[in-house]
Amino acid sequence: MRSLDDLLAEGVSGRRVLVRADLNVPLDTSTRAITDDGRIRASLPTLQALRDAGARVVVAAHLGRPKGEPDPQFSLAPVAARLGELLGTTVPLAADVAGDDARARAGALADGDVLLLENVRFEAAETAKDDAARGELADRLAALADVYVDDAFGAVHRKHASVYDVAQRLPHVAGRLVATELDVLTRLTQDPERPYVVVLGGSKVSDKLAVIEALLPKVDRLLVGGGMCFTFLAAQGHGVGKSLLEADQVDTCRRLLAEAGGKIVLPVDILCADRFGADAETSVTPADAIPDDLMGLDVGPLTVDLFTAELVEARTVFWNGPMGVFELAPFQAGTRGVAEGVGAVDGLSVVGGGDSAAAVRVLGLDEAAYGHISTGGGASLEYLEGRELPGLAVLAD
C-alpha cells in the first residue's frame, strides 16, 4: 500500500488531488453547529501536507444519512467553515458532488487551494449496490483530479463509490490518518504486549458478537459494560428488571461465558432508575439483584473499581462502547471512571472511535492521555474481526 509520503516524494505541485476524508461530525439539531470537530482535526495532517506541497486539493466527504438526494440539513456547509478555520484559509463548498459547479471550481483551483465537495451521499449512487451506478459517479469524481488519497478510515469498511470505485480509476495512496489507524490496529492484532485487556460497552450484544468471538482467544481479559452486559447477566440466570435485553442472544452469551474460561468480566453493581431521564431518581443495586421495576442505565462504582483494577496491570487496551447512557448527567460516572482507567494505562491505550471517542470529548477528558483515539468505530471493529475492508483492499492493489 503506497503512502502519502510516497506521493509527496513524486511531487504534487500543480496537481489536483482528490482526498476522501471522514468529516462526518455531529451537529446540534437546532443550530446545526458542530458539537465535536474531532474528525475534522484528524484530517488536517494529510490536507496540510498536500497544501504545503502545492497540491490543488479537492475533498470528498459524507455527513449523516441523507436519502440519496440533496437535503439542506445534511449540507457540509458547517464543515467547510470549520475546516477553513482550522486550515487558516477559505474552503469553498461546491454546490454539488461532482456536477457542473464542482468541475468549474476544481478547474479553477490554484496551488495550495482546498475545495470541499457537497455531501457525497446526496448522490444515490454513492452507496448503491449496483457496480455500474457507483462506477458512473466514480467516473465523475475521478475526472476532478489526477490522483486519489483515501484518508477516511471511518468509511473504509464501505464499498462506496468515493471509497472503493474511485481508487480503481486513479493512482491512489493511503493518507496519514489511514496509515496511523492501520499501524495501531496492527499492534492490537499482531503480538500485542500483555496483559491485553479489551473493554466493550454499547447497547447490544448482537452488534459486538463477531468482535467478541474474534477477540476472546487473543485477550487476557474482556470487560463488558453498557446495555450489552444485561444479556450476559441474564445468561448467568440473573433478573435484569426493565433493562435492555436481547433475549435471542442469551444462549450465545451463555456459550461465550463457558468458552471464555474466566476471561469475561461482568459488572458487579448497576446504577438503576425507574425511567430514562435527566431528573430520574437513581439507586445502585448488586448486578445479580436488579429490581423488576427498575432499569440499569450505567455500571456502578464497585464495577468501576473492578474494571480499573484490571486495567492497572494492562500493557495493551482497546476500548469500544460506553458503560452507560453517558449523554445524561446521572449516568456518566461509569463511563468516566472506566475512561480514566483506560487513559491511565502504562502502555498502548486505544479508544475505538464512535461513542467512545465522543464520550472522551463530551466528558471533557484529556485526549492526550490516550495512545490513539480512532475515528472509525465500525471500521476498527471489522478490522479486529479479521474481515476484509473494501477501502483498504483497493488501496493495496
pLDDT tens-digit readout, 80-129: 999 999 999 999 999 999 999 999 999 999 999 999 999 999 999 999 99
Binding residues for ATP: 208, 296, 327, 353-356
Euclidean distance between CA atoms 145 and 170, whole angstroms: 8
* 8-state DSSP, 153: G
Q: Which residue has the cell 496492527?
A: 186
- Beta pairing partners, 57: 17, 114
- How far apart CA 94 and CA 205 sit, in angstroms, is 41
Check residue 355 and give its pLDDT. Answer: 85
Per-residue pLDDT of the chain (397 residues; tens, 9 = 90+): 999 999 999 999 999 999 999 999 999 988 999 998 989 999 999 999 999 999 999 999 999 999 999 999 999 999 999 999 999 999 999 999 999 999 999 999 999 999 999 999 999 999 999 999 999 999 999 999 999 999 999 999 999 999 999 999 999 999 999 999 999 999 999 989 999 999 999 888 998 999 999 999 999 999 999 999 999 999 999 999 999 999 999 999 999 999 999 999 999 999 999 998 999 999 999 999 999 999 999 999 999 999 999 999 999 999 999 999 998 999 999 999 999 999 999 999 999 877 898 899 889 999 999 999 998 888 999 999 999 999 999 999 8
The three three-digit cell numbers of residue 105, written as one number? 471550481
| 344 contacts: CB under 8 Å, gap ≥ 6 | 311, 312, 369
The b/e string for 364-397 (b: 16+ C-beta within 10 A; e otherwise) is ebeeebbbbbbbbbbbbbbbbeeeebbbbebbee
The annotated binding site for (2R)-3-phosphoglycerate is made up of 39, 121, 158
Q: Which residues are annotated as a binding site for substrate?
A: 22-24, 39, 62-65, 121, 158
Q: pLDDT at position 383, please?
A: 92
Q: What is the pTM of this model?
A: 0.91
- List the chain domain ranges: 4-179, 192-385
Rounded to whole angstroms, the Cα distance separating 397 from 384 reads 21
Q: Which residues contact 377 (CB under 8 A, 6 or more apart)?
A: 154, 320, 352, 353, 354, 355, 356, 357
Q: Which residues are annotated as a binding site?
A: 22-24, 39, 62-65, 121, 158, 208, 296, 327, 353-356
Integer Cα distance of 211 and 206 in angstroms: 10
Instruction: Please check whether the two domains, 4-179 and 192-385, share a CATH topology.
Output: yes
Q: 287 near 268, Cβ under 8 Å?
A: yes
What are the residue numbers of the active site?
Answer: 39, 204, 354, 378
Give the CATH number of domain 192-385: 3.40.50.1260
Q: What is the fold of 4-179? A: Rossmann fold (3.40.50)
Burial (0-12, 13-18, 19+ Cβ within 10 Å), 215: buried
Instruction: Residue 149: name the closest of 43, 285, 249 by CA.
Output: 43
Average of per-residue pLDDT values in the chain = 96
DSSP 332-393: -HHHHHHHHHHHT-SSEEEE-SHHHHHHHHHTT--GGGSSEE-S-HHHHHHHHHTPPPHHHH
